[in-house]
Amino acid sequence: MTQPLNVREAIQLARQLASRELTATDVVSACLERIAEREGEVQAWEFLDPDHALAQARELDRGPVRGLLHGLPVGVKDLFDTADMPATYGSPIYAGHRPAADAASVALCREQGALMLGKTVTTEFATFTPGKTRNPHRLTQTPGGSSSGSAAAVADCMVPLAFASQTAASVIRPAAFCGIVGYKPSFGTIHRAGVKALSDCLDTVGFLARSIDDVALFAAAVQGERVLPDLSPAGAPRIAMCPTHEWPQADDDTRAAFARAEQVLARTGVLAAALPLPTPFSGLLQAQKEIMAFDLARSLAHERLRHPGRLSEGLGQLLRQGMEIDVDRHRANLHKAAAARAAADSLFGDADAVLAPSAIGEAPAREQTGDPVFGRVWTLLGLPCIHLPFATGRTGLPVGLQLVGRHGDDRALLRMAAWLLPRLKDG
């Protein structure tokens, strides 16, 4: 039976679009049909204009093949500016706001021939107040935050690719809860111009898809590459298990996934020595929380001062906490983070990458977005991370782990992930 277009992987669609075996209109129409069928329940989209999407598709079909993403529909997290669609940043303060220009990553994506299908729901200023989106695997559960709409739309086959961003765990956690691949590149890899700023030393543009090949394609295109990335491994990697200092918070589902992964690595002969984080790294979780709160209170100064009544109670409290952190403490936290980043490469020992928890466990109820505890330290360190979905928890919802690599070794991390994920699934 022929696989529906909206279900196919982006890399397969990209080849068929480049050869003109498919048209962009075909692919967009299939995605719009899926959205029409499911959006009433999943509620992944903040803004969608089907006529505009189809007009973009027809224009692409009339012209030459533009790049790696030619004709591929992309969901854009509503934290990213778009010149042809509103950007509300998850807040009523910006209802109807129309940016003058695309975010850099969006513009670069268009340059490679991608079609921006619509804007996906984000939480309020990409923080912790849930949006309307539901987990497509179980509508009573959260899709995570803050890239909630993007993760749900990809998981439900409404779109093959979607932009995300991470300041604490907003790429990895939604990917974990929705059972898809989430890739947070090394800090500074993807230009952040035109993405609503939260923290200058934490914010990272990321990518969501349903396969390793797809996130690799997406990231390569946004970085300006013109050929499909080769993810063939140079050899079997050495991978260590790293439960992190936050391990006591992991529930039985994450612990079971961790044990299963350790058995797979041992059986395939690639398990490196366990990686316990040194004691000084135990303070990084609090440092990340304080740096994020300090920066949020200042990056959202206009909103905090001019529109306090239009902020949620939770965000208002977080901003007040951020204002209570004095400059000297903030400098000390930044110094601690810089020292840890400088030492991060040496942590790996003879391992090429480490496997660590992505989330506490299965997605909780959608009145919350889930605790970002297992993403915060890796974000602070600026290391590349990719969520690998390979298991289910006790109630049947997705569970997985994140693979973490050395700063700047993103292509190597993607190759290792492509080697590892099928082995974990076969378990």
* Whole-number Å distance between alpha carbons of 130 and 82: 22
8 A C-beta contact, residue 366 and residue 142: yes
What is the separation, in whole angstroms, between the first and last Cα of the chain? 27
Element housing 207 (H / E):
strand 204-209
DSSP 1: -
Q: Is 63 helix (H, G, I), strand (E, B) or coil?
A: coil
Amino acid of residue 113: G
Amino acid of residue 269: G
**146 part of the active site:** yes
Q: Is 164 helix (H, G, I), strand (E, B) or coil?
A: strand
8 A C-beta contact, residue 348 and residue 275: yes
* Whole-number Å distance between alpha carbons of 298 and 304: 9
**282 part of the active site:** no
8 A C-beta contact, residue 425 and residue 212: no
**299 part of the active site:** no
Question: 29, 91, 146, 147: which is the annotated catalytic residue?
Answer: 146
Question: 170, 186, 299, 358: which is the annotated catalytic residue?
Answer: 170
Question: 29, 77, 147, 312: which is the annotated catalytic residue?
Answer: 77
Question: What are the residues whose beta carbons fall under 8 Å from the beta carbon of 55, sequence distance 6 or more?
Answer: none
Catalytic residues: 77, 146, 170
